[in-house]
């Protein structure tokens, strides 16, 4: 009876090992499937990261170009301001009107403009009407 018991135990052991092997094989297959899916996700993430990296580089290049253009335009604007100031300084009549407009913006009246800037009354009234604080 002991040999029969030993044989039964050995058969049970072999069957258990076979079932355990099959279970482990299924678990390994599930893990392999998950690893493959994660590998695909990582590859897709790498592709997306590279695409974003390229787009960012393009944006940087574009921003640098726009920045250079803005600097050029600012320089030209400053040059134009200098030329305009020079032209205003050369023409005494323009200086006179610039001063009169500044006085009007500070609240000067018609009489002050006539007296300080030697403007005719109609021009003084027009300047106050156009550039006065009531605008």
**What DSSP designation does 16 have?**
H
Distance CA 114, CA 103 (A): 11
Confidence of residue 98 (pLDDT cuts 50, 70, 90): confident
Phi, psi of 106 (to 5 degrees): -90, -5
pTM of model > 0.85: no
> Among candidates 134, 109, 133, which has minimal Cα distance to 117?
109
**What DSSP designation does 1 have?**
-
**What DSSP designation does 119 have?**
-
What DSSP string runs through 18-87?
A: HHHHHHHHHHHHHHHHHHHHHHHHHHHHHHHHHHHHHHHHHHHHHHHHHHHHHHHHHHHHHHHHHHHHHH
Q: Which of 131 and 20 is assigned the larger pLDDT?
A: 20
- Give per-residue pLDDT as tens, 85-96: 777 667 666 667
Over 60: is that where the pLDDT of 6 sits? yes
């Amino acid at each position: 009876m002991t040999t029969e018991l030993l044989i039964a135990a050995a058969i049970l052991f072999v069957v258990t090992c076979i079932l355990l092997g099959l279970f482990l094989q299924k678990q390994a297959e599930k893990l392999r499937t998950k690893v493959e899916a994660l590998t695909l996700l990582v590859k897709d993430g790498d592709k997306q990261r590279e695409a974003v990296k390229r787009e960012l580089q393009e944006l940087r290049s574009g921003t640098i170009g726009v920045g250079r253009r803005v600097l050029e335009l600012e320089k030209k604007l400053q040059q134009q301001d200098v030329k305009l100031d020079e032209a205003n300084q050369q023409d005494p009549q323009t200086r006179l009107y610039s001063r009169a407009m500044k006085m009007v913006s500070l609240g000067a009246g018609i009489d002050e403009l006539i007296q300080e800037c030697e403007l005719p009354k109609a021009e003084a009234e027009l300047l106050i009407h156009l550039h006065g604080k009531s605008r």
